[in-house]
């Protein structure tokens, strides 16, 4: 068995970014339910993100979404974050909520619209220059709904050209992250539907382009750990967007639907050196809390990731390898399951105590009175929501 010391070291190194949109109101296309105390602007979103960091000790950065988190002065927002002990992280672009993008953004048949989309991506990089953010994350809603609607191949050429124009503007210490998703909002073809397409474009672009694996963006039954192992093998896995899904892109709390899958993914990350010092892999939540409270939803998510990581690090690698090499099928499986079936919660409580954090983050946050405080203070103005 790996030692608790090894687990503690990884937990201390492991930083997970939370998304600004998790703090705003969200819902389905049927209904968005408001919640008391929801932030009214990006400054308040950052304050909530700082609370998650306070109770987990593991979320020192918050991802922004442009234009949802557009502010007049990004340096001021960055300074506000810094005062609260967090930094501004990944900048997420948005090329899916403008009427012009009905037929796509960077793949649109109209060159003027493609140019508009690329200008937006350049604007996001300008924001990164001010905030000091390392990563530009691209998720494109581009695709088609009907066979024959557009040329599949030409759309790939347009995508390649637009990505090259974006990549040309990426700074020396910045990265372009290309996320894939197999469907929605397009239902016949999606222009970046899978890891192969994303990887092909990233390889064409160069060393600053990396693939993002959003755990909710695969068809049911997809072996995500296989994808992760392969991307790590060619050193192109740039980031995770964590969430879980029962059906499609459900954006539920990571580890809620299938904690065993999350463990298997984290095991591949561990084997591939993804928790080592200097790992290129960023760990980010991409979730919406439609019916549950938002800050506790984020805290619970971080705890779920930590539990999966702790179990993955506990896998006895020597015993696993020995069993694998000797063809001991069930022995190898046992080694993995032993780690998965370990109750790591006491270990995590000890690690938190040693790190000066309350061992029970959910209870500590609930007892803090912060939820009642923001519900009383944040009256008037417009609550931020998915899409604002």
Positions that interact with ligand PSV (CB under 6 A): 65, 92, 139, 179, 181, 214, 241, 249, 286
Q: Centre a 10 Å sphere on the Cβ of residue 264 and count the other Cβ atoms it contains.
A: 20
Whole-number minimum distance, CB 287 to ligand PSV, in Å? 9
Which residue, 141 or 374, has its beta carbon nearer to ligand PSV?
141
Whole-number minimum distance, CB 137 to ligand PSV, in Å? 6
Whole-number minimum distance, CB 21 to ligand PSV, in Å? 7
Query: Which residues, 6 or more positions from 65, have their beta carbon under 8 angstroms from its beta carbon?
Result: 19, 20, 21, 92, 94
Which residue, 183 or 370, has its beta carbon nearer to ligand PSV?
183
Whole-number minimum distance, CB 3 to ligand PSV, in Å? 36
Tell me which long-range contacts 74-78 makes (C-beta under 8 A, separation of at least 24). 74/127, 74/130, 74/131, 75/130, 75/131, 77/42, 77/43, 77/46, 77/131, 78/130, 78/131, 78/132
Among ligand PSV, Mn ion, none, the one that 101 touches (CB under a kind-dependent 5 to 8 A) is none
Residues 281-300 that bind Mn ion (CB under 5 A): 286
Residue 17 binds to Mn ion (criterion: CB under 5 A): no
Dist CA 308 CA 165 (whole Å): 39
Residue 307 binds to Mn ion (criterion: CB under 5 A): no
Site string for Mn ion, 313-342 (x = CB under 5 A): ------------------------------
**Rg (alpha carbons) of the chain, rounded to whole number:** 21
Site string for Mn ion, 213-252 (x = CB under 5 A): -x--------------------------x-----------
Which residue, 48 or 214, has its beta carbon nearer to ligand PSV?
214
Q: Give me the helix-helix angle, 4-13 and 345-354, nearest 10°.
A: 60
Whole-number minimum distance, CB 205 to ligand PSV, in Å? 19
Total interface residues for Mn ion by CB under 5 A: 3
Which residue, 41 or 214, has its beta carbon nearer to Mn ion?
214
Which residue, 179 or 307, has its beta carbon nearer to ligand PSV?
179
Which single residue is written with the structure tokens 């998510």?
301
Whole-number minimum distance, CB 179 to Mn ion, in Å? 5
Among ligand PSV, Mn ion, none, the one that 249 touches (CB under a kind-dependent 5 to 8 A) is ligand PSV
Which residue, 135 or 214, has its beta carbon nearer to ligand PSV?
214
Which residue, 140 or 340, has its beta carbon nearer to Mn ion?
140
Is residue 264 within 8 Å of 70, Cβ to Cβ? no
User: Which residues contact Mn ion by CB under 5 A?
Assistant: 214, 241, 286
């Amino acid at each position: 068995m790996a030692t608790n010391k090894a687990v503690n070291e990884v937990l201390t190194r492991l930083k997970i970014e939370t998304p600004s949109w998790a703090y705003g109101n969200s819902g389905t296309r049927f209904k968005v339910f408001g919640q008391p105390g929801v932030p009214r602007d990006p400054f308040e979103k950052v304050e909530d993100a700082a609370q998650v960091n306070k109770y987990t000790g593991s979320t020192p950065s918050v991802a922004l979404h442009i234009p949802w988190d557009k502010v007049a002065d990004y340096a001021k927002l960055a300074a506000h974050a810094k005062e609260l002990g967090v930094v501004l992280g990944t900048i997420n672009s948005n090329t899916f909520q403008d009427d012009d993008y009905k037929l796509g953004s960077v793949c649109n048949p109209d060159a003027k619209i493609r140019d508009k989309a690329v200008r937006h991506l350049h604007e996001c990089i300008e924001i990164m220059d001010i905030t000091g953010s390392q990563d530009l994350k691209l998720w494109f809603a581009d695709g088609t709904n009907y066979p024959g609607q557009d040329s599949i191949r030409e759309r790939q050429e347009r995508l390649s050209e637009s990505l090259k124009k974006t990549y040309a503007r990426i700074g020396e210490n910045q990265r372009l992250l290309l996320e894939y998703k197999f469907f929605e909002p397009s239902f016949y073809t999606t222009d970046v539907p899978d890891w192969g397409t994303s990887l092909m474009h990233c390889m064409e672009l160069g060393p600053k382009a990396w693939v993002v694996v959003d755990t909710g963006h695969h068809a049911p039954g997809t072996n995500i750990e296989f994808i992760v192992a392969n991307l790590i093998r060619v050193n192109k896995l740039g980031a995770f967007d964590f969430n879980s899904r029962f059906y499609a892109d459900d954006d539920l709390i990571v580890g809620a639907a299938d904690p065993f899958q999350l463990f298997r993914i984290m095991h591949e990350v561990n084997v591939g050196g993804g928790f080592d010092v200097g790992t290129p892999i960023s760990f980010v939540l991409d979730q919406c809390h439609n019916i549950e409270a938002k800050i506790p939803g984020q805290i619970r998510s971080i705890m779920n990731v930590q539990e999966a990581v702790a179990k993955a690090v506990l896998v006895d690698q020597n015993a696993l390898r020995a069993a694998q090499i000797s063809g001991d099928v069930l022995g190898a499986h046992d080694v993995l399951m032993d780690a998965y079936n370990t109750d790591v919660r006491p270990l995590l409580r000890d690690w938190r105590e040693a790190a000066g954090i309350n061992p029970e983050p959910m209870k500590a946050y609930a007892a803090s009175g912060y939820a009642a405080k923001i519900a009383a203070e944040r009256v008037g103005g417009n609550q931020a929501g998915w899409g604002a």
